[in-house]
Amino acid sequence: MTVNTRAATQASRSPWQIGIPLVWLLLLWLAVTGMAQLEGFFRLFEPDVRSVIYSRVDFSLLLGRHLFVVAIAALVTITLGLASGIAVTRKKGRDFLPLVSQLASMGQTFPPVAVLALAVPVLGFGTLPIIVALMLYGLLPIVRNTLTGLQEVDVGIKEAARAMGMTSGQILRQVELPMAAPVIMAGIRTSVTINIATAALGATVGASNLGDPIIAGIVNGNTAYVVQGALLIGLLALSVDSTFEQVQRRLKADESPRNK
């Protein structure tokens, strides 16, 4: 690694940037555990109601359920997105590339609410319908970025690796995926961040999560409940997004010496 590259890498990992995810996580935890202490603030939104703090379910429990749903959906979409993206960029699967792209795009053209409406009669109320909706809605960014990342790998680099005696599998694992990792991570980041907000819709079909206070606030005409749910979802999204950003920066920094 050259001196300039090392300096650029260290600059991209400044203490302030590294600490941003921790700041958001701390704010999220303080909001979850200390929501009752903010009663005076939320009273500004609803001065005439008896209760302005959502208390039907503990916020920490709602946060855990929200994370569980998003994590399961992310695990499935990442697996499917990477597998399909890799498969259609191989010689034997290139004929299916347009089909995979179109199927992934179709998943995001359906509004999550419509997916829930179609899924509930088949899957019933609860967590499963929202997981299905998140899978369909979050697949496109991962597939698209996997295709872009793998297709942008320099052909000359792959030919050089092949000339060194590396097999197709070794080229994929040791050359293509590491070089495409920053682009792929950007797709995963987009998918997960979007689904953190979208998961709140699960509360409409009986999936208990951070969408509960929002739905309860809408039903009861209590703006304070809505603000509490939106605040926690926003802090969670910022925490996850900033964490992915740091991972993406590290991948880009690690990729720079490889391209020299």
At 69, is the pLDDT very low, low, confident or very high (cuts 50, 70, 90)?
very high
**pTM for this predicted structure:** 0.86
At 216, is the pLDDT very low, low, confident or very high (cuts 50, 70, 90)?
very high
Of 20, 140, 131, nearest in space to 68 by CA: 131
Measure Cα distances from 210 to 31, 170, 198, 207, 231 in Å: 13, 43, 11, 10, 10
Q: Which tens digit of pLDDT belongs to each residue from 131-186?
A: 999 998 889 899 999 999 999 999 899 899 899 989 888 999 999 999 999 999 99
SS3 45: coil
Separation of first and last alpha carbons in the chain = 8
At 77, is the pLDDT very low, low, confident or very high (cuts 50, 70, 90)?
very high
Residue 67 to residue 134: CA distance in whole angstroms: 12
pLDDT at 1: 42
Amino acid at residue number 21? P
Identify the structural domains of the chain with CATH numbers, from first to last.
18-43+58-259 (1.10.3720.10)
Tell me: pLDDT of 67 over 80.
yes
